[in-house]
Amino acid sequence: MPVAAGDRFGNLTVLRFADGVPKMAQKATFRCDCGTEKAIRLAHVISGVTVSCGCVKQKHQAPKGSKFGRLTVIDDTPNRDSGNRKVLCRCSCGVEKLVGVWELANGVTNSCGCIVIENARAMSLTHGEEGTPLYVVWHSMKARCQIPSAGPYERYGGRGISVCQEWSDSYVKFRDWALAAGYKQGLQIDRRDNDGDYEPGNCRWVTPVVNANNRGNHRTLTAFGETKTMAEWARDDRCAVSISALKQRVRKGRYTDEEAITLAKGRHVESVRREPE
């Protein structure tokens, strides 16, 4: 079954997920009925391994006929294994299994293991698009805004750029917006305002060239009375060098914009300026 913020498991209520998408192996933040907030592995809560922040204490009893989740005790004759008192239970799926009384009484175990398998399968089929190009766009967008160790973080999350809550919490909602906004494989997500967040009103789908030209750190050059980005000048017939050579000239700072664009490769500004009139 899909899990969402607000769902209850025992004394615990889901508040939020670590990366916006529920995954069995990851922790989520829960609020216990006692008021405590705690990060707990999602699989442990769904399977009944954890039913509270630790405040709930139950008596260690499991008499014959008692039910614990999907388990029914069918033989309460103690069976000890390494000091742990166990009783024989039958799961609703038909499997019989020895289960520790402490695990039953404290909600640690409430099935033969079938609940974990079913929920893992259901969660993996929530949208079935993990690894697709659009999913990678969504994941990368969140990483550069939310994960300090991500390479581009300094230029995004590091300067206050964030992903709106709706998209951060749900890939499906991001996907629905993307398709309605004209997404096609090969296009890139672009923010109209480079200082604005990733949100529906500020985002669009553009070609890689348009996206590159919209970057805040993209240098523009002015020549022949026209101002263009370096990428645009490199595609102009009047440009005598490649984009990499143009960037190198601009970085050195020894050329005017027009010289950087028009000087043929191998010709240095000093030699040109010293030519006799």
pLDDT at 117: 75
CA dist 171 and 19 (Å) reads: 11
**Which of 96-105, 128-137, 178-187, 258-267 is the most confident on average?**
178-187
Residue 123 falls within a domain, yes or no? no
pLDDT for 90-124, tens place per residue?
999 999 999 888 788 766 788 888 877 776 665 55
Residues 173 and 190 in one domain: yes
Residues 192 and 149 in one domain: yes
- For the chain, the straight-line distance linking the first and the last C-alpha, in angstroms and rounded, comes to 82
The helix, strand and coil proportions of the chain, stated in percent and rounded to the nearest 5, come to 35, 25, 45
Which pair of structure tokens corresponds to residue 171? 């890939």
pLDDT at 82: 53
Alpha helices in the chain (DSSP H): 42-46, 101-105, 114-124, 133-146, 165-169, 171-180, 208-213, 230-234, 243-252, 257-262, 269-273
Query: H-helix or E-strand containing 40?
Result: strand 37-41
Higher model confidence: residue 231 or residue 204? 204
pLDDT surpasses 50 at 276: no
What confidence category does residue 151 fall into, taking pLDDT thresholds of 50, 70 and 90?
A: confident
Residue 182 falls within a domain, yes or no? yes
Residues 141 and 200 in one domain: yes
Query: Which residues lie below 8 Å from residue 199, measured CB to CB, with a gap of 6+?
Result: 163, 164, 166, 167
Residue 61 falls within a domain, yes or no? no
Residue 121 falls within a domain, yes or no? no
pLDDT surpasses 80 at 266: no
Residues 110 and 170 in one domain: no
Please tell me what DSSP assigns to residue 152.
G
The DSSP annotation for 126-144 comes to SS--TTSHHHHHHHHHHHH
Share of the chain above pLDDT 90, in %: 18
Alpha helices in 35-132 (DSSP H): 42-46, 101-105, 114-124
Query: Which residues lie below 8 Å from residue 185, measured CB to CB, with a gap of 6+?
Result: 133, 134
What mean pLDDT do residues 70-78 have? 87
Residues 25 and 90 in one domain: no
Residue 174 falls within a domain, yes or no? yes
Higher model confidence: residue 189 or residue 27? 189
Residue 268 falls within a domain, yes or no? yes
Residues 195 and 254 in one domain: no
Residues 156 and 173 in one domain: yes
Contact 32, 53 (CB under 8 A): yes
Please tell me what DSSP assigns to residue 124.
H
Number of structural domains the chain divides into? 4
Q: How many CB atoms lie within 10 A of CB 111?
A: 22
Domain stops at, among 213, 236, 255: 213
pLDDT surpasses 50 at 274: no
pLDDT at 25: 62
pLDDT for 36-67, tens place per residue?
898 888 777 776 667 788 776 545 677 888 88
Residue 36 falls within a domain, yes or no? yes
pLDDT surpasses 60 at 262: yes
Query: pTM for the full model?
Result: 0.39
pLDDT at 122: 59
Residues 202 and 229 in one domain: no
Share of the chain above pLDDT 70, in %: 79
pLDDT at 127: 63
What confidence category does residue 1 fall into, taking pLDDT thresholds of 50, 70 and 90?
A: low
Provide the 3-class DSSP secondary structure of residue 229: strand
CA dist 71 and 90 (Å) reads: 6
Please tell me what DSSP assigns to residue 238.
T
Residues 149 and 186 in one domain: yes
What mean pLDDT do residues 168-193 have? 90
Residues 15 and 36 in one domain: yes
Residue 1 falls within a domain, yes or no? no
CA dist 244 and 186 (Å) reads: 24
Domain of 91? 67-115
Residues 22 and 87 in one domain: no
Residues 208 and 234 in one domain: no
Provide the 3-class DSSP secondary structure of residue 204: strand
pLDDT for 247-260, tens place per residue?
888 888 888 989 98
